[in-house]
Amino acid sequence: MTETVTNTNDATADVKETKDQINENSKEETKDTTETQTAVNEVAASAAAPTPVAPKGCRNPHYEKDIVYLFQFSRTPAIVSVSPFCLKVETWLRLAGIKYENVDHKMKYKSKKGQLPFIELNGEEIADSTFIIKELCLRFGKDLDSTLDNNQKNISHAMISMIENHLLWVVNWWKIKYTDVMFKGYKINLQNFLGTRFPNSILNFFFKYKYRRVGLKKLKAHGIGVHTPEEIDQLGKNDLKVLSDMLGDKPYFFGDEPTNLDIVAFANLAQIYFVDKEVEYSLRDYLIENFSNLVGHVNRMKERCFPDWDDICKTLDMNAHIQKPASEEKEVKSKDEEKKAEKEGDKIVDDKIEKEKDVDKEIDENKDKDKEKDTNKEDSKDSK
Ligand SMILES: N[C@@H](CCC(=O)N[C@@H](CS)C(=O)NCC(=O)O)C(=O)O
């Protein structure tokens, strides 16, 4: 990251020196003053330009002007973001061609609204995917819906509402209800996800406990949580059918170019489609078997917006889109090796736990057998 906060003292000294030099020269010769004055003005202007002072609470004080700093979740080997809202913002940034950096905070921060994603732009926090996109659209003049007529805009609004307030909750229900399966489905390694060296078995236990406890309450509050699994599954299938019908055989929902609706649809369908095939997920199977146009859409968006998708999932690099100096490349490679070692370490711990469980089971069984023998002895004594 480039340091943008310039040293004002040095700059002021430079200006003073330049001015003194020019004054000296002007005493001797008065010609070329206009040219020289322009140079002075330029240097003075650069020194007088206000040094960006990070506002209080800014998480990334060494920001570069007009670069969007995105705070989201860590990568996983199956999907670049397990949050449809975060994936929506990153996809939008890429499609709009706006310079951005992900802040690799390992879930340390949340917005003032208590959620992810949020961004910082010139030191200012903007939270919530919809408000982020609205603000960036205004500030950078990049409206991806600019070609839509009023009717299309209304349809887009209604469809986005359906996806984010209904389909997303069908998927959230699955993520919360089957946390273990979800972890496997996205190949989440909590050590890497949270950036800690605590053993995964302990992290899994606490994270799942908290995630489930909070999640189940949210599902109830939303309303989806009161239905049976079969009913929820059907609700999801209904939404997929609507999306598939609306898309038809067009490459994108409103024609040849993607708009905000394509971004939201992609960010949410990806959560279903990229669940690892090793894991059972009926909605994913239904999507693949029945809606080949939606599958085509997900892949089209992935290729267009994330040509580095596979690379990201392999390296878990938050900023694969940014060219790195050679020294950092090496660091990424050694991090890869570290991750591999961590994985192997986890397997050893998991195997050990399994073995310990077997030993415990054997001890319990032996205890039961001993008890049985003792009771039999007692019984035979009594009968004698
Ligand atoms: N309306 C928000 C929703 C964001 C949201 O629900 N984020 C979730 C992750 S997908 C989150 O941060 N959850 C943590 C929490 O609510 O405590 C948006 O569009 O950004």
DSSP 35-60: HHHHHHHHHHHHHHSPPPPPPTT-S-
**How many CB atoms neighbour CB 376 within 10 A?**
10
Atom of ligand 1 nearest to the CA of 115: 12
Please report where in the chains the tokens 């929506």 appear, as a residue. Answer: 88
Q: To the nearest whole number, what is the mean pLDDT of the chain? A: 83
Counting residues of the chain whose pLDDT is more than 70, the rounded percentage is 72
Atom of ligand 1 nearest to the CA of 89: 20
pLDDT of residue 247: 98
Q: Which of 115, 174, 218 to mutate to test the pocket of ligand 1 (most atoms within 8 A of CB)?
A: 115
Name the strands in the sheet holding 124-127, side by side, starting at the edge strand that comes first in the sequence: 100-103, 68-71, 118-121, 124-127
| CA separation for the pair 303, 308 (Å, rounded) | 8
114 C-alpha vs ligand 1 centroid, how far in Å?
8
234 C-alpha vs ligand 1 centroid, how far in Å?
24
pLDDT of residue 374: 60
Query: Would you say the CB of residue 164 lies under 6 angstroms from ligand 1?
Result: no
- Mean pLDDT across the stretch 134-142? 98
pLDDT of residue 328: 67
Counting residues of the chain whose pLDDT is more than 90, the rounded percentage is 68
Query: Would you say the CB of residue 72 lies under 6 angstroms from ligand 1?
Result: no
209 C-alpha vs ligand 1 centroid, how far in Å?
19
Atom of ligand 1 nearest to the CA of 82: 10
pLDDT of residue 13: 38
Backbone angles phi, psi at 93, to 5 degrees: -60, -40
| CA separation for the pair 102, 11 (Å, rounded) | 31
The answer on pLDDT for 5 being more than 50 is no
86 C-alpha vs ligand 1 centroid, how far in Å?
9
Atom of ligand 1 nearest to the CA of 73: 9
Closest residue by Cα to atom 10, ligand 1, is: 83
pLDDT of residue 16: 40
Closest residue by Cα to atom 15, ligand 1, is: 115
In contact, 52 and 123? CB cutoff 8 Å: yes
Please report where in the chains the tokens 């489930």 appear, as a residue. Answer: 212
Query: Hey, CA dihedral for 347, 351, 356, 357, is it positive or negative?
Result: positive
pLDDT of residue 342: 53
Please report where in the chains the tokens 């059907």 appear, as a residue. Answer: 234
- Mean pLDDT across the stretch 2-6? 31
Instruction: Output the pTM of the full model.
Output: 0.76
Closest residue by Cα to atom 1, ligand 1, is: 128
pLDDT of residue 219: 98
Token output for 358: 């077997």
Query: Would you say the CB of residue 126 lies under 6 angstroms from ligand 1?
Result: no
Model confidence over 13-68: pLDDT tens digits?
333 443 344 344 444 444 444 444 444 444 444 445 455 678 888 999 999 999 99
Model confidence over 154-174: pLDDT tens digits?
999 999 999 999 999 999 999
Model confidence over 232-273: pLDDT tens digits?
999 999 999 999 999 999 999 999 999 999 999 999 999 999
pLDDT of residue 324: 86
67 C-alpha vs ligand 1 centroid, how far in Å?
23
Of the listed ranges 94-98, 175-179, 322-326, the least confidently predicted one is: 322-326
Q: Which residue has the higher pLDDT, 223 or 347?
A: 223
pLDDT of residue 22: 34
pLDDT class for 365, splitting at 50, 70, 90? low
Q: Which residues contact 315 (CB under 8 A, 6 or more apart)?
A: 332, 335, 336
pLDDT of residue 42: 47
pLDDT of residue 55: 84
